Chain A
Amino acid sequence: MSGTGTPAAAGRRSWLREHSELGVCVLLLAVGALTLFDALTMHVEITQRGPVGPRTMPIAVGAGLLAVAALLAVDVLRGGRGEAEGGEDVDLSEPADWRTVLLLAGVFLAAAALIEPLGFPAAGALLFWGAAYALGSRRFDRDPLIAAVLSLVTYVVFNDLLGVPLPGGPLMGVL
């Protein structure tokens, strides 16, 4: 993303990248405005009991969000930075790997879409295998097997032992 445009544009871009946390302020502002809008356009019926109606809390929360968005913006412009969270498997020295995140989100949505037509065992196995693949696992002998066993066992435990119904799909109809 470097080397294009005038130095001024490049400078602006790097300023924006350094202050990307302002995006959080914009989101907070948007959610706050939405909450306030929803509360203010609410038709309060006569059923309201007591002096505090259903609008009070949303108005307070919405106003709070606007205030926090402003405070956070001030903090960021003054050089404050939210500290990214560390962890055992987290390496913050390298830039974020967006490809993996998008791939995982895609696999998750695909599994969600397939859970009703294919049933839980098949969709769940696809979710596990797909996620492991997205994360870099390439054992084509082992991965699908683990995925299938995990998904089937989970299905049986939830559906038959715990009594939490999951859709079996055509596959379980055959078995």
Chain B
Amino acid sequence: MDAFGDLLDGFGTALTPLSLLWAAIGVLLGTAIGVLPGIGPAMAVALLLPVTYGLDPTGAFIMFAGIYYGAMFGGSTTSILLNTPGESAAVVAAMEGHPMAKSGRGAQALAAAAIGHFTGGMIGTLLLVALAPAVADLAVGFGAPDYFAIMVLAFIAVTSVLGASRVRGLASLLIGLVIGLVGLDQMTGQQRLTFGSLQLADGIDVVIVAVGLFAIGEALWVAAHLRRTAAEAIPVGRPWLGRDDVRRTWKAWLRGPLIGFPFGAIPAGGAEIPTFLSYVTEKRLSKHRDDWGRGAIEGVAGPESAASAAGTLGSMLTLGLPTTAVAAVMLAAFQQYGLQPGPLLFEREPELVWGLIASLFVGMVLLLALNLPLAPLWAKLLRIPRQYLYAGILFFAAVGAYAVGGEVVDLVILLIIGLVGFGMRRYGLPVLPAVIGVILGPNAEQQLRRALQISDGSVSGLVNTPFAVAVYVIVALIVLWPLLRRVPVLRRRAG
């Protein structure tokens, strides 16, 4: 269990010229995507899934990780200068960041956010290095019942914790599970929901579902409600911080990851809840209460640091459990390569895993170097004509779906799923549960059947390990969440 030795080997992978190139492409694309309105990191990674057909896994994941963190950096730029956050994790950044920009302190807000992301990302990745092998060791003994329990937890958490309405989350999850059922049953070869069509017998590719729901659905939805005049961004100079600002922010930067990492590692914690908790914490600890609401720099520094520290990648790599939309799409990319994230990944693909983790450090440094001096340049991206932006999204969505198998029928399925995504946005059905349903559904079914096969059909076969029992207890707690919600601190968050 020599994690730091493994990490050094990882740097051997991450510092090769080719890996550095993919990391650089990833952080550039990611920052651009984060700044661009309308494109989130999940959509970006979904649109780039076709590169997995031509690229080796290490390069692809180094690039995806760069996009993930780059989008975080870039997303706060949009929040601060435009007051309309694209990523849910960047909502909090607008609350203090935008008033700062309006009062002429945009440069300081951008600097506080960028350094916050850097600190948070570094600490979060260090925690990942320290904890992931232990979690993976623990998880090596997992059997079918344990995996099934984790997936049930993911399903319940993603439908119950995120979004305003549980029944709508559940509807979305079930839509995803139905899409996942289409095709041949993996264990018996039985056709399900294919209606005799050969095309459907192959199942609906996860890439098409992810691109359809995230990209086509979003583009059509925006097209139906396109703002006649795009919001105006506040012009800004090069980010910098005065000594007073540093004195106010450094503690916030360090506190952020303590909140962000644990919450990001649990399903449906994502980056949304920790950023808000960090905001509330900083507000309570601040010596400058009067500034809050009018541009308190701690309110930018803490939450941004928490967002980048989120242990999302940790639970995805060690348990195969996606806690955010980006992680879900990255999981789909692993499946494209026939890799199963989880404890065995650390044993079977150490070069890939540790190369990826090491490249996170490299990516952070690249991002800080890119974002501090170049922020005014990135802000220019906010002026892109929206017609080109959304036409481009449709274009790349079509490329991605067609590249899956070179079949025109895939494009038709893509459009249909896109229309489903449009309807979901119209009626407030969250998209993430559907994507998790498609990605984890077939796997969950297999684990369920395997577990029951071993126990010869007895339901006790699902709860015969302490770990599985513990997970079901957590599931029960989440289901009872509405009662626990009466706790005052949590109610303030909801309101």
Residues of A within 8 A of B (CB): 21, 24, 27-28, 31-32, 34-35, 38-39, 42, 44-45, 47-54, 56-58, 61, 64-65, 68-69, 71-72, 75, 80-85, 87-92, 94, 96-98, 100-101, 104-105, 108-109, 111-113, 115-116, 120, 124, 127-129, 131-132, 134-137, 146, 150-151, 154, 158, 161-167
Decide if A162 touches B221 in the complex (CB within 8 Å).
no
- Asked whether B102 is an interface residue with its Cβ less than 8 Å from the other chain, the reply is no
Per the bound structure, the CA–CA distance linking A98 and B419 in Å amounts to 12
Decide if A84 touches B171 in the complex (CB within 8 Å).
no
Decide if A58 touches B456 in the complex (CB within 8 Å).
no
**Closest beta carbon of chain A to B101's beta carbon, Å:** 15
13 A–B pairs (Cβ distance < 8 Å), ordered by A: A28-B171, A52-B453, A53-B190, A54-B187, A82-B427, A84-B428, A88-B84, A88-B86, A91-B227, A108-B398, A112-B408, A115-B411, A137-B387
Decide if A82 touches B429 in the complex (CB within 8 Å).
yes
Give the contacts of B37-58 with A (CB-CB under 8 A). 37-38, 50-51, 53-55
- Which stretch (B11-19, B173-181, B366-374) binds chain A? B173-181
- Chain A residue numbers with a CB within 8 Å of B426 are 82, 84, 96
Per the bound structure, the CA–CA distance linking A167 and B405 in Å amounts to 12
Decide if A87 touches B167 in the complex (CB within 8 Å).
no
Per the bound structure, the CA–CA distance linking A96 and B188 in Å amounts to 46
Per the bound structure, the CA–CA distance linking A42 and B181 in Å amounts to 14
- Majority-rule SS of A interface residues: helix
Decide if A132 touches B192 in the complex (CB within 8 Å).
no
- Chain B residue numbers with a CB within 8 Å of A85 are 221, 425, 428
Residue in contact with B390 in the complex, picked from A52, A113, A131, CB distance below 8 Å: A131
- Asked whether B395 is an interface residue with its Cβ less than 8 Å from the other chain, the reply is yes
- Asked whether B185 is an interface residue with its Cβ less than 8 Å from the other chain, the reply is yes
Residue in contact with B222 in the complex, picked from A39, A80, A90, CB distance below 8 Å: A90
- Contacts A124-B398, A127-B398, A135-B226 given; does A35 touch B168 at CB 8 Å: no
- Asked whether B377 is an interface residue with its Cβ less than 8 Å from the other chain, the reply is no
Per the bound structure, the CA–CA distance linking A113 and B402 in Å amounts to 12
Decide if A116 touches B408 in the complex (CB within 8 Å).
yes
Per the bound structure, the CA–CA distance linking A53 and B398 in Å amounts to 36
Decide if A96 touches B55 in the complex (CB within 8 Å).
no
- Contacts A35-B181, A100-B223 given; does A82 touch B165 at CB 8 Å: yes
Which A-chain residue is minimally distant from B167 (CB atoms)? A71
Residue in contact with A101 in the complex, picked from B38, B223, B428, CB distance below 8 Å: B223
Residue in contact with B167 in the complex, picked from A42, A68, A81, A101, CB distance below 8 Å: A68
User: Can you name 17 extra interface pairs (CB under 8 A) apart from A85-B221, A87-B221?
Assistant: A24-B423, A24-B429, A35-B193, A42-B192, A49-B188, A53-B190, A54-B187, A65-B174, A84-B426, A85-B428, A91-B225, A96-B224, A97-B225, A135-B223, A135-B391, A162-B51, A162-B54
- Chain A residue numbers with a CB within 8 Å of B225 are 90-92, 94, 96-97
Residue in contact with B188 in the complex, picked from A45, A51, A65, A164, CB distance below 8 Å: A45
Residues of B within 8 A of A (CB): 37-38, 50-51, 53-55, 78, 82, 84-86, 164-165, 167-168, 170-171, 174-175, 177-178, 181, 185, 187-190, 192-193, 195, 216, 218-228, 230-231, 385-388, 390-392, 394-396, 398-399, 402-403, 406, 408, 411-412, 415, 419, 422-423, 425-429, 445, 448-450, 452-453, 456-457
**Closest beta carbon of chain B to A166's beta carbon, Å:** 7
Decide if A101 touches B224 in the complex (CB within 8 Å).
yes
Decide if B415 touches A134 in the complex (CB within 8 Å).
no
Which A-chain residue is minimally distant from B175 (CB atoms)? A31
**Closest beta carbon of chain A to B89's beta carbon, Å:** 15
- Chain B residue numbers with a CB within 8 Å of A75 are 165, 167
Decide if B168 touches A61 in the complex (CB within 8 Å).
no
- Chain B residue numbers with a CB within 8 Å of A32 are 174
Decide if A88 touches B181 in the complex (CB within 8 Å).
no
Per the bound structure, the CA–CA distance linking A124 and B387 in Å amounts to 16
Per the bound structure, the CA–CA distance linking A64 and B419 in Å amounts to 22
- Contacts A80-B165, A127-B394 given; does A47 touch B178 at CB 8 Å: no
| Residue in B195, B220, B402 whose Cβ sees the most chain A Cβ within 10 Å | B402
Which B-chain residue is minimally distant from A163 (CB atoms)? B54
Which B-chain residue is minimally distant from A94 (CB atoms)? B225
Decide if A52 touches B220 in the complex (CB within 8 Å).
no
Decide if B391 touches A132 in the complex (CB within 8 Å).
yes
- Chain B residue numbers with a CB within 8 Å of A116 are 408
- Contacts A39-B192, A85-B428, A164-B50 given; does A61 touch B181 at CB 8 Å: yes
- Chain B residue numbers with a CB within 8 Å of A42 are 190, 192
Per the bound structure, the CA–CA distance linking A120 and B82 in Å amounts to 37
Which A-chain residue is minimally distant from B40 (CB atoms)? A87
**Closest beta carbon of chain A to B179's beta carbon, Å:** 10
- Chain B residue numbers with a CB within 8 Å of A24 are 171, 423, 427, 429
Per the bound structure, the CA–CA distance linking A167 and B403 in Å amounts to 10
Per the bound structure, the CA–CA distance linking A156 and B398 in Å amounts to 16
Per the bound structure, the CA–CA distance linking A57 and B409 in Å amounts to 27
Decide if B386 touches A135 in the complex (CB within 8 Å).
yes
- Chain A residue numbers with a CB within 8 Å of B428 are 81-85
- Chain A residue numbers with a CB within 8 Å of B415 are 105, 108-109, 112
Residue in contact with B50 in the complex, picked from A98, A109, A128, A158, CB distance below 8 Å: A158
- Contacts A88-B37, A128-B392 given; does A136 touch B387 at CB 8 Å: yes
- Contacts A84-B426, A162-B54 given; does A52 touch B395 at CB 8 Å: no
**Closest beta carbon of chain A to B278's beta carbon, Å:** 23
Which B-chain residue is minimally distant from A42 (CB atoms)? B190
Q: Which 10 A-B pairs have the closest CB atoms?
A: A82-B428, A51-B457, A162-B54, A50-B453, A88-B37, A131-B391, A137-B387, A112-B411, A54-B185, A82-B427
- Chain A residue numbers with a CB within 8 Å of B185 are 54
- Chain A residue numbers with a CB within 8 Å of B37 are 87-89
